[in-house]
Homo-oligomer: A and B are copies of this chain.
Amino acid sequence: MEARHLRYALALADHQHFGRAAAALGIAQPPLSQQIAALERELGARLFDRTARGVFPTAAGEAFLVRARQALAEMAAAVSDAGRAARGETGRLRLGFIGSALLELLPSLLNRFARGHPDVRLGLQEMSTCRSAAALLAGELDVAVGRGAPRGAGAEDLVSVTVGRDRLVAVVGAAHPFAGQAEVSVEQLRGEHLIVAPADEEPLVAARLAALLGEGADSPARTGGITEARDVHTIIGLASCGIGVGLGPACMRAAARRGTWVCEVSPRVELPELVMSFRARDRSPVLAAFLDTTREVCPGVGGQLGDRRVGR
């Protein structure tokens, strides 16, 4: 039995007339008679009563037609669902990101993507750049947003694009001597207790700071100590308590609250770029759609990806 038989039976039930049903199906009348007869033969039951007043389904026909309608609807849904999935309109996208990405990039990006793809289930998880890269390679994430392109084992299986840049700023509590200053110098920072991202979780950020503050940044030669904090909110929180001077991306200003003060650092220093990564071999249409949205939101991403057609 093929879908054709179902379509023919339904058309015949609709028109109650072989000739008109055949016309509606775009075929001649004899083939319709044959196919209906073949269907009845296969089922071992008469589906239609041919009377002088028209063609009417038997009890078996009624039962058959109910199921046939449902079956064809399922087939149509199969086509529709497959298309939607292929266009990335349904599915799942698991995104790992560092906390600071939630300050500027992600709000607009996620908002736009969610509006355009309401049936995609988003899985969002804040995590360090290192952990998100590992999770990406382990297949636990589909997209990662972190600082600096992942390096090391497996990095060649990932594609990374720059989606944002931030200069380094310092954040202090209101009671700190720096409070009220527009900027502080690198030399001044060398004498302070610093609150920075953990070196093992954000190695590129740590390396950049180490290069800035001198190789002995965490050696006893520096006056102040080091406190590591997992994300920007913790850095700001600790700084506001007066524990030390927090160092982080300029977008931290958006999260700075009362009782804190943000200084520019002179000379200007760029932190590692905000980078979006995904598996190079991932052909997920949802990922492709997400990258399309990213292209729209972040100027320059299009050029980095070229005409890479992920998915399809």
- Chain B neighbourhood of A72, CB < 8 A: 71
For the complex, what is the distance from the CA of A81 to the CA of B47, rounded to whole Å? 12
- Chain B neighbourhood of A59, CB < 8 A: 85-86, 91, 284-286
Q: Could you say which of A72, A74, A78 has the most chain B C-beta atoms within 10 Å of its C-beta?
A: A78
* A1-55 interface with B by 8 A CB criterion: 1-4, 6, 43-47, 49
For the complex, what is the distance from the CA of A91 to the CA of B66, rounded to whole Å? 13
Query: Would you call A68 an interface residue if the criterion is a C-beta within 8 Å of the partner chain's C-beta atoms?
Result: yes
Give the residue of B2, B75, B77, B312 whose beta carbon is less than 8 angstroms from that of A46. B312
- Chain B neighbourhood of A2, CB < 8 A: 2-4
B63 x A84 contact (CB < 8 A):
yes
Q: How many residues of A contact B (CB 8 A)?
A: 42
Query: Would you call A283 an interface residue if the criterion is a C-beta within 8 Å of the partner chain's C-beta atoms?
Result: yes
A82 x B61 contact (CB < 8 A):
yes
- Chain B neighbourhood of A45, CB < 8 A: 82-83, 85-86, 312
A77 to chain B: closest residue by CB? B67
Q: Could you say which of A61, A77, A86, A284 has the most chain B C-beta atoms within 10 Å of its C-beta?
A: A86
A90 to chain B: closest residue by CB? B63
B47 x A82 contact (CB < 8 A):
yes
For the complex, what is the distance from the CA of A77 to the CA of B43, rounded to whole Å? 12
B82 x A43 contact (CB < 8 A):
yes
Query: Would you call A79 an interface residue if the criterion is a C-beta within 8 Å of the partner chain's C-beta atoms?
Result: yes
A67 x B43 contact (CB < 8 A):
no
A67 x B81 contact (CB < 8 A):
yes
- Chain B neighbourhood of A286, CB < 8 A: 59
- Chain B neighbourhood of A86, CB < 8 A: 43-46, 58-60
Give the residue of B71, B74, B83 whose beta carbon is less than 8 angstroms from that of A60. B83
A1 x B79 contact (CB < 8 A):
yes
A78 x B82 contact (CB < 8 A):
no
- Chain B neighbourhood of A74, CB < 8 A: 67-68, 70-71, 74
B71 x A85 contact (CB < 8 A):
no
A285 to chain B: closest residue by CB? B59
For the complex, what is the distance from the CA of A64 to the CA of B283, rounded to whole Å? 17
A88 to chain B: closest residue by CB? B59
Query: Would you call A200 an interface residue if the criterion is a C-beta within 8 Å of the partner chain's C-beta atoms?
Result: no
Query: Would you call A62 an interface residue if the criterion is a C-beta within 8 Å of the partner chain's C-beta atoms?
Result: yes
For the complex, what is the distance from the CA of A47 to the CA of B81, rounded to whole Å? 12
A: residues with CB less than 8 A from B are 1-4, 6, 43-47, 49, 58-64, 66-68, 70-72, 74-75, 77-79, 81-86, 90-91, 283-286, 312
Q: Can you name 23 A-B residue pairings with CB atoms under 8 Å?
A: A1-B3, A2-B3, A2-B4, A6-B78, A43-B82, A43-B83, A43-B86, A45-B82, A46-B86, A46-B312, A47-B82, A58-B85, A58-B283, A59-B285, A60-B82, A60-B86, A63-B90, A66-B78, A67-B74, A67-B81, A71-B71, A71-B72, A71-B74
